[in-house]
Amino acid sequence: MNVTRARLSDGREIVYYDEAPGRVPVPDPRGLPPAAARCEIRHDPLTGDPVTITAHRNARTFLPPPDRCPLCPGGPASEVPDPGYDVAVFENRFPSFAGPGCCEVVCFTDEHGASVARLPARRVRTIIDAWADRTAALSALPGVAQVYPFENRGVEIGVTLHHPHGQIYAYPYVTPRTGRMLDMAARHGGDLFAGVLAAERAGGRVVLHGEHWTAYVPAAARWPVEVHLMPHRHVPDMAALTAPERDELAVLYPDLLRRCDALDDAPLPYVAAWHQAPVGEGRDLIRLHLQLFSIRRAPGKIKYLAGSESGMAAWINDVPPEDTAARLAAG
């Protein structure tokens, strides 16, 4: 992997991850004014949960036509000035956090109509290396408590850009879900994730597996389609993955995404959430793993987070996890 760093016209950093050397970055011609994000973190006094108020994000780009896509290379509205790229990462122009914390956009390919499921393993490996490199870099920033790579895919999920891309949030706090996992792991008294993985591998909900990774539908799946992909050894984050683990992940991950798309013979709207250990305390308790989930419960039908889920965080799933696992495993 070849890494090239440059600056956009408003001072934000852009990093190119290329499979071949020789990139000479093109200057950003837009002459943008310095970014001025307005972010405020407040806390719910009843639950303690953090809530970030970001008024500037309400004006962000929303489903532009292809000729105005900010992630296609070299266009008049492009955030990527170069005429082509393999993987590009840049600071989000409309971040959810500023100051403590950071938000970045990860462009998986310069092909507007592509998807991670259809990318070659070599490109997926470059994406994994980029995730690992950015995880290490963001974890080293002052005030960052947790780094979270993820992809939102599909209009039903709420994407605002069609171009295949993900994001990386560097939170200035440990997120509520991770906090609950830390509590459960501490109460368990051992390697909670090893126990969960062993139980799932012995059960009937394994979707696919290799020497280093296993994908399974969890017994208590919240979503109609939900798959976890977990390494066989304790790894706190992407940066700690070995070369063989990354190589296998570059094959298994798009395989899993293709199986998801095959469920209804249509691209599945999904969130691909990479859970990583906190930067500081708790790195020995949380194991890196993917939680991939979709709100589609049947062709043309969406699971809405209504009264029970939204009001009480009490989940109800209409689709038995065993049924989803069988369909995914069948490919």
Tens of pLDDT, residue by residue over 9-67, are 999 999 999 999 999 999 999 999 987 778 899 999 999 999 999 887 876 777 888 88
Average predicted confidence (pLDDT) for the chain: 95
At 124-133, the pLDDT tens digits run 999 999 999 9
Query: 293-323, pLDDT tens digit by residue?
Result: 999 999 999 999 999 999 999 999 999 999 9
- Intrachain domains 2-30+38-171 and 180-330 with the same fold: yes
Amino acid, single-letter form, for residue 289: H
Task: Kindly tell me if the per-residue pLDDT of 90 is higher than 90.
Answer: yes
pLDDT of 170: 97
pTM value is 0.96
Closest by CA position to 207, among listed 47, 72, 117, 328: 328
Domain 180-330 has CATH 3.30.428.10: yes
| Residue 107's pLDDT band (cuts 50, 70, 90) | very high
Q: Which amino acid is at 79?
A: E
Q: Is the pLDDT of residue 105 over 90?
A: yes
Provide the pLDDT for residue 257.
98
Domain residue ranges of the chain, discontinuous segments joined by + = 2-30+38-171, 180-330
Please state the φ and ψ torsions of residue 293, each to the nearest 5 degrees. Answer: -145, 160
Give me the sign of the Cα torsion angle 27, 28, 31, 37.
negative
Active site residues: 165
Residue 172 binned pLDDT confidence (cut-offs 50, 70, 90): very high
**pLDDT score recorded for residue 99:** 79
Fold entry, domain 2-30+38-171: HIT family, subunit A (3.30.428)
Spatial distance between the Cα atoms of 44 and 156, rounded to a whole number of angstroms: 28
- What pLDDT sits at residue 56? 76
Query: What's residue 60's pLDDT?
Result: 75
CB neighbour list of residue 67: distance below 8 Å, 6 or more residues apart:
75
Say if residue 1's pLDDT is above 80. yes
Q: What's residue 76's pLDDT?
A: 78
